Amino acid sequence: MKMPTRRLAVPSLLAIVAAAVAVPGVAPAAGPGPCDIYASAGTPCVAAHSTTRALFAAYNGNLYQVRRASDNTTRNIGVLAAGDYANAASQDSFCANTACVITIIYDQTSRHNDLTPAPPGGVGGQDAPVPADALPVTAGGHNVYGVLVSQRMGYRDNSTSGIATGSQPEGMYAVMSGTHFNSGCCFDYGNAETNNLDNGNGHMDAIYFGTLCWFSPCNGAGPWVMADLENGLFQSNTGGSQNAGYTGNRNPYVTATLKNNGTNFFAFKDGNAQSGGLATRFSGALPTFRPGYSPMQKEGAIILGIGGDNSNSAIGNFFEGAMTQGVPSDAAENAVHANIVSVGYGGPSPVAGGTLNPGSTLSLRATTACCTTRYIRHQNNNAVTSVISSGSSALDKADGSWIVRRGLANNSCVSFESRNFPGEFLRHQNFQLFRHPMDGTTLFRQDATFCPQAGRSGTGTTSFASLNFPTRFIRHFNNTLYIASNGGSNAFDSATSWAADVSWVVSSPWTP
Ligand code: AHR
């Protein structure tokens, strides 16, 4: 049920700020949410998206919808109670022993600005939905899931209600992550074109987070919060940073805010979403060194995880975000940030390295007599084995380390994400193994899912059956990796030393 947010009794901003500054990790179930704070400041939310919690104290509807692979049915995931956290247990039971994707992120305002996988655009084809369980975290002490965007994934709503158009003012915030990013275009949340095309300067007004340095200078290594105003990621009215102290934000949870009055002003801030306050990174005039931004020409679509023209080579994490009517005050933004801090985003709990538990980082050592110092690593996108030792280069060690994820096509199996190429996974193609960017397709998910079994060569080892070719196991053959059967027409299916070649020692990671 959508709550008629505008008819709620609105407490004073002062009262809301006091309630928002709670102890991290023990957020009250139904305290004021970010959208209550914005409303009381006179800048109500016109879109509110989160897979982790209600953004209004009174919201008691659905947060998102998941679809499972086993039978293509869907389930809406709601909150535990009005104003509370996501009912992730409902997702877990629905998705047990299969894999789910997020098909809708519902708008919690009464405007139904729901986000669905984005259609093809000027750049990039149809976007895939994200895996529903790839980003387990805790919020308010509850297990919930964030939105983990890989390349060729993203969401959009081109037919919105109440979102700023033309030179109308607006504000927005998002909680993202400074540990999962890249320099692709463009991990955005905010206002974009309604036809999926780059319609020119000033046709977008969105938060960007990543390391794509569009205008020089960008200070430090990033990732930076910037304003995607179309044909540019702006750190100031002159494009590049005017703030030598802003070298990026690598906190695991990052609050980003952006506001734009549509005619001559924009400002953005960021902060550690787990503690402290917001820092203003720029506040001043809209760019005039190029035409089109002052005044703005906003179109009013909403995007998540992609650029305005559907550029979809970026990755990132998203937990919650909202867009407002009007430019929010600094006090409202500070109160929203304090509210986010009070949620106590965290986790998932640390997972011991060198195990097959999701979240663990490991290395996989070969056991065939020839090769007991060789480990599975990627090299030029191919999966091979290399000798890796304590004296190896940092690159070799990182290439030989993998993060265990819940199986992309079946969560009772596993997938292996590259330690140094986030968003890229070990997958087979024509029976050979590669490191490829996750593209969200069913085929990729299956090709990247492996089911651990007792090692074929004996105790202390593990073999990994391919999910979609269950009689084939990860095998090294002439130091190249395949999924191989025990005898067959391909050279790499040779029965000679098959059992040893498909048996691996799950080891501590060379790069934790
Ligand atoms: O402004 C940066 C990007 O440029 C936009 O997101 C996209 O539409 C264009 O390619």
**Arithmetic mean of pLDDT, 125-141:** 93
3-state class percentages of the chain: helix first, strand second, coil last, to nearest 5 = 10, 35, 55
**The pair of three-digit structure tokens given for residue 365, joined into one six-digit string:** 């050592």
State the Cα–Cα distance between residues 121 and 156, nearest whole angstrom: 11
Q: Is the CB of 309 under 6 A from ligand 1?
A: yes
Whether 228 is a known active-site residue: answer no
pLDDT recorded at residue 423: 85
Atom number of ligand 1 nearest to Cα 306? 6
Identify the burial level of 64 via C-beta atoms within 10 angstroms of its C-beta, where 0-12 means exposed, 13-18 middle and 19 or more buried. buried
Q: Is 390 helix (H, G, I), strand (E, B) or coil?
A: coil
pLDDT recorded at residue 30: 54
User: What is the distance in A from the centroid of ligand 1 to the CA of 199?
Assistant: 10
Residue 391 · residue 401 · CB < 8 Å: no
Residue 186 has pLDDT above 50, yes or no: yes
> Among all chains, which residue has been given the structure tokens 């397709």?
441
User: What is the distance in A from the centroid of ligand 1 to the CA of 155?
Assistant: 15
Candidates 158, 189, 228: which one to mutate for ligand 1, based on the most atoms within 8 Å of Cβ?
Answer: 228
Instruction: Write the CB contacts of 183 (distance below 8 Å, at least 6 apart in sequence).
Output: 210, 211, 212, 213
- Summarize pLDDT for 299-309 with one digit per residue, the tens: 999 999 999 99
Residue 31 has pLDDT above 90, yes or no: no
**The pair of three-digit structure tokens given for residue 490, joined into one six-digit string:** 């391909």
**The pair of three-digit structure tokens given for residue 495, joined into one six-digit string:** 């029965």
Residue 429 · residue 423 · CB < 8 Å: no
User: What is the distance in A from the centroid of ligand 1 to the CA of 234?
Assistant: 11
- Summarize pLDDT for 416-432 with one digit per residue, the tens: 999 999 889 999 999 99
State the Cα–Cα distance between residues 504 and 473, nearest whole angstrom: 11
Q: Is the CB of 311 under 6 A from ligand 1?
A: yes
- Summarize pLDDT for 138-183 with one digit per residue, the tens: 999 999 999 999 889 999 999 999 999 999 999 999 999 998 899 9
Atom number of ligand 1 nearest to Cα 228? 1
User: Per-residue confidence at 441, pLDDT binned at 50, 70, 90?
Assistant: confident
Catalytic-role residue among 127, 170, 230, 320: 230
**Arithmetic mean of pLDDT, 78-95:** 97
Q: Is the CB of 230 under 6 A from ligand 1?
A: yes
Atom number of ligand 1 nearest to Cα 186? 6
Q: Is the CB of 314 under 6 A from ligand 1?
A: no
User: What is the distance in A from the centroid of ligand 1 to the CA of 304?
Assistant: 13
Residue 14 has pLDDT above 70, yes or no: no
pLDDT recorded at residue 25: 40
Q: Is 369 helix (H, G, I), strand (E, B) or coil?
A: helix
Helix axes 330-343, 13-20, angle to 10 degrees: 30
Whether 230 is a known active-site residue: answer yes
**The pair of three-digit structure tokens given for residue 471, joined into one six-digit string:** 């009689």
User: Per-residue confidence at 7, pLDDT binned at 50, 70, 90?
Assistant: very low
pLDDT recorded at residue 200: 98
Residue 377 · residue 476 · CB < 8 Å: no
Residue 450 · residue 415 · CB < 8 Å: yes
User: What is the distance in A from the centroid of ligand 1 to the CA of 262?
Assistant: 18
Q: Is 120 helix (H, G, I), strand (E, B) or coil?
A: coil
